[in-house]
Structure 1
Amino acid sequence: MTALNATIIGAGIVGMSAAAFLQRSGYKVTVIDRVPPGEGCSFGNAGGLAFAEIVPTIHPRMLTKIPGWLMDPLGPLTIRWSYLPKALPWLMALGRNAMPDRVKAITDARAALALRVVSDFETLLQEAGARDLIRYQDTLRIYDNETQFLADAGERAAKNAYGYETKRLSGGEVRELEPAIGPNVHCGAFHGGWYFVTSPERVVKTIAAEVVKNGGTILADDVVSLERDGSKVTHVTLKANGRLAVDRLVICAGAYSHLLAKQLGEKVLLEAERGYHMVLPNSGVSLSRSITYARTPGAATPMEMGLRLAGTDEFAGLDAAPNYARADALWTNFKNILPGLREPDSATTRWMGRRPGTPDSLPVIGPSKTTSNVWYGFGHGHMGLTWGPSTGRLIAELMTGAKSNIDLSPFRADRF
């Protein structure tokens, strides 16, 4: 019997998960990326398995905060004004998707995608003997005052409706759990389902090593173009290795994916939601879990390389130089609730990555509508690590004809 062959563009958490699940379904896999596995956007996230985060990133209450955020160049959301004309179609679609009826439909789709997040992660890491990378402590959300807590009531209600418990804690109870949190904290709440990993990079590299061990190939190269014959992609042209024949193609190229989809005649609204992090090996504080702070979006997560402060959204395109003052602003923010947090020193590192975001806060998962042997898995925004393994499983199911456990129509490529 002829072996099934799949070529996957992208060696982040989504691409490597797709490769691993396709292998389990009998495929021979080749993964292509310009950088090693786990060293793109998957490298620098907050490490969250945030399966309870079912409410979309932008909703009616959030819209009211955006004008104030935009006035602060180091705030949680910024747009480099020279880039605004290019981002405008995406931003207009974002506004449409923030209407209540759309928020409800998007929340339903995100909740469905969350159903097997933990089990899909465990499937891949257990096989590699690395399940200990997951920490099962739920993340805490921290509030300065009662007004902040009440402002999140709608989001907590949505989580509760889907079975996620968001228990409130007094300031004293918060400090009993996490003594590093300061006396000024008013209260806290569990997110209801947000675990973390101790190294996002090592998660991806662990899955990649298992893929190679099981006969997969990982090519370090840059995809220049896709070559079609009728309704099929027959070859990819690589910068260093020339033309490579393909049988079935999976595009998981993060923030660059829409450029490949465009070659296939498909318009996908995708923006690079540029996020930043700072890692403090000598942070001076000890946390047993990840925490988020209601004052501004972001997370502080204890990892094997130090305390990682991650967050913010910057719209500046794919190629603009990083503004690492945005990473420093994360330190300033978390210092408010972690009084023992030490100043950045020579061991501190800063990073910027390009999250692939869609205007409806849903990824693109499924077949191309123009090309019969191409499938997509990209556009996960802030949820790439969380949804990566489940996306890989869903792609494998689609490609093998297995019945999926969820309705995939909200994630189709031609919805924009």
Structure 2
Amino acid sequence: MKNKPLRESHIMPSSHITIIGAGIIGISTAAFLQRAGHKVTVIDRVPPGEGCSFGNAGGLAFAEVTPTIRPRILLKIPGWLLDPLGPLTIRWSYLPKALPWFLAAGRNALPDRVRKITAARAALGLRVVSDFETLLTAAGSIDLMVKKDSLRLYDTHAQYQAEESERAVKREHGYEMKKLSPGEIAEIEPDIARDFACGAFHGGWYYVRNPQKVVASIAENVVRNGGEIIQDDVLKVAQDGSRATALTLKSGGERPLDRLVICAGAYSNFFASAFGDKVLLEAERGYHLVIPAPGITLGRSLTYVATPMAMTPMDMGLRLAGTDEFAGLDAPPNWKRADVLWPFAKRCLPKLREIDQTVSRWMGRRPGTPDGLPVIGPSRKLRNVWYGFGHSHMGLTWGPTTGRLLGEMLSGAPSNTDLSAFRVDRF
């Protein structure tokens, strides 16, 4: 039987909570904790929203209840791994380190595990929009969220039929993927190619116009309400028995701790392992291209059946984002993995202009667990430490909801979400 987590015997509503990580998870956590009456300090080596939150596809994909790795996808992975520019690849020198993660991912693709993971994903998706609205409205930036459902494109009707099982699961959870004819696609999005067999709305996939600005605006509101945000490196967290007692900053020296939340993305395992909590966490490296003045107009984000990527209209241009690369935290980027996204986008959007010197490229490190579910909850070793990391491709989508759940936990408030699937000791 699992050991019960150590908890503070009494939780004071006016406690001071330190959060390591200023991405969408950490900043959302700070905002919800602050709303519950806590004093908050957020620490990160980069400004709010400048880490992995900066470059994602911008999707609020709350209807994506089926896990990324499932039986139908598992069959495709061997072929993808052989292609260095494929949707999923691994640098072979890194394989020995990543092998336990991949073996665990395979086990999590078995039908019984897929059902349980789907239920957990669906639970996280229920209040995504309302949690975003809470934070963005308070920050005065609700206009950054665009409530138009993403459109998926299919070359053939056979491709559409092949995804029927995923659509059936979505319907079970209340998300309907409405099918569109070529004429209906042309009516709502005239710049999409006219030779697709069909399309379908995702059933619940909005987007934001600027992910970095989303995080920055919420962070600014946290500061306006008395919160503290420090840009510095955390070198060490001191422990005394079953508590974290202080942290040492590269520039700011030592700071005492009351309670601590780790929201450090792909770097979170450095802290979890030091605290004695074992987590299988890998950096799922994603890439993007941003094409300013792309020569096309889109009213929503797009996905295309031929490859796992998204095309999203943003304030700075058309963002093409996707792919999974396993190479560790520090390997240099392979910018060809960004450029390979363009031909797929061009297939969907014939008027899309060519890549030139104005195009920007980016690589980020998504924190991925082998079941695709985040770690949300208390440390099993330190009674004043909590975790919020490991969201893989769903960090932006589940960020505010994770913040709300952590806010409830640290305030002693009841939750209507079953959090057992997100325990740190499940690995």
- Secondary structure of 2:76 counterpart: helix
Deviation string, structure 1 residues 13-43 (Cα, Å, up to 9, x no partner): 0000000000001111100000000000000
User: 1:71 Cα deviation (Å)?
Assistant: 2.0
| Distance in 2 between residues matched to 1:236 and 1:53, nearest whole Å | 37
Give the match for residue 290 of structure 1.
301
Say whether 1:229 aligns with 2:278.
no
Who is 1:409 aligned against? 420
Q: In the alignment, does 2:391 pair up with 1:391?
A: no
Q: 2:163 aligns with which of 148, 152, 156?
A: 152
**Would you say 1:314 and 2:325 are equivalent positions?**
yes
8 Å Cα contact 1:56/1:103 also seen in 2: yes
1:125-164 → structure 2 map (5 Å cutoff): 125-164=136-175
Determine helix, strand or coil for the equivalent of 1:383: helix
Determine the structure 1 residue equivalent to 2:289: 278
Match for 2:137: what amino acid? Q
Give the letter for the 1:15 counterpart: G
Residue equivalent to 1:46: 57
Contact 1:282–1:347, Cα closer than 8 Å, also in 2 = no
Question: Shift in Å at residue 150 of structure 1?
Answer: 1.1
* Superposed CA offset, 1:265-321 (max 9, x none): 011000000000000002111100000000000000000000000000000000000
1:116 and 2:127 matched:
yes
Q: CA deviation at 1:177?
A: 1.1
Letter of the 2:252 counterpart: N
Partners of 2:367 and 2:95 lie apart in 1 by: 17
Q: Does 1:198 align with 2:209?
A: yes
Secondary structure at the aligned position of 1:268 is classed as coil
Query: Secondary structure at the residue paired with 1:300?
Result: strand
1:72 paired residue number: 83
Q: How much identity, in percent, do the aligned residues show? A: 67
Specify whether residues 163 and 222 from structure 1 end up closer, same or farther in structure 2 by C-alpha distance, changes over 3 A only. same
1:31 is matched by which residue type in structure 2?
Answer: V
Corresponding residue for residue 336 of structure 2: 325
**Is it true that 1:351 corresponds to 2:362 in the alignment?**
yes
Runs of 4+ in 1 over 3 A off after TM superposition: none
Range moving further from structure 2, 343-352 or 12-21: 343-352
Once the two structures are superposed, the pairs formed by residues 163-242 of structure 1 within 5 Å of their partners are 163-242=174-253
| Alignment deviations for residues 146-205 of structure 1 (CA, whole Å, 9 cap, x no partner) | 121111111111101100010111122112111111122111001000000000000000
Q: Distance in 2 between matches of 1:404 and 1:387?
A: 16
SS at match of 1:336: helix
Question: What amino acid sits opposite 2:310 in the alignment?
Answer: A
* Partner of residue 67, structure 2: 56
Determine helix, strand or coil for the equivalent of 1:360.
coil
Query: Take 1:180 and 1:325, find their aligned partners in 2: how far apart are those partners?
Result: 26
Distance in 1 of aligned mates of 2:220 and 2:324: 32
Work out the CA distance in 1 between the residues paired with 2:190 and 2:236: 53
- Mean CA deviation greater in 66-75 or 264-273: 66-75
TM-score, scaled relative to structure 2: 0.96
Deviations 1:39-60 (A, max 9, x none): 0000000000100001001000
With normalisation by structure 1, the TM-score equals: 0.99
Q: CA deviation at 1:2?
A: 8.7
- Corresponding residue for residue 278 of structure 2: 267
Partner of 1:22: 33
Amino acid at match of 1:345: D
Do structure 1's residue 94 and structure 2's residue 127 form an aligned pair?
A: no
Q: Which moved more, 1:34-43 or 1:148-157?
A: 148-157
Where do 5+ consecutive residues of structure 2 fail to align?
A: 1-11
What is the CA–CA distance in structure 1 between the aligned matches of 2:230 and 2:257, rounded to whole Å? 14
* 1:330 counterpart letter in structure 2: L
- Contact 1:116/1:390 (CA < 8 Å) preserved in 2? yes
Distance 1:405 1:37 in 2: 29
Amino acid at match of 2:52: C
Aligned-partner SS, 1:269: coil
Distance 1:275 1:405, change over 3 A: same
Partner Cα distance (1:336, 1:297) in 2: 14
Matches of 1:71 and 1:196, distance apart in 2: 32
Query: Does the 8 A contact of 2:281 with 2:368 survive in 1?
Result: yes
CA distance in 1, matches of 2:75, 2:259: 44
What one-letter code is carried by the residue in structure 2 that aligns with 1:192? G
Whether contact under 8 Å (1:184, 1:337) holds in the other structure is no
Aligned AA for 2:43? I
Matches of 2:51 and 2:304, distance apart in 1: 26
Measure, in 2, the Cα distance between the counterparts of 1:244 and 1:147: 59
Q: Please tell me whether residue 82 in structure 1 is matched to residue 82 in structure 2.
A: no
- Residue by residue over 1:241-288, the C-alpha shift from the partner in whole angstroms, topping out at 9 and shown as x without a partner, is 121111000000000001100010011000000000000002111100
Provide the rounded CA distance (Å) in 2 between the counterparts of 1:3 and 1:168.
51
Secondary structure at the aligned position of 2:331 is classed as: coil
Determine helix, strand or coil for the equivalent of 2:247.
strand
Letter in 2 for 1:285: I
The whole-number CA distance in structure 2 between the counterparts of 1:173 and 1:236 is: 57
SS of structure 1 residue aligned to 2:401: helix
2: CA distance, partners of 1:333 / 1:75: 12
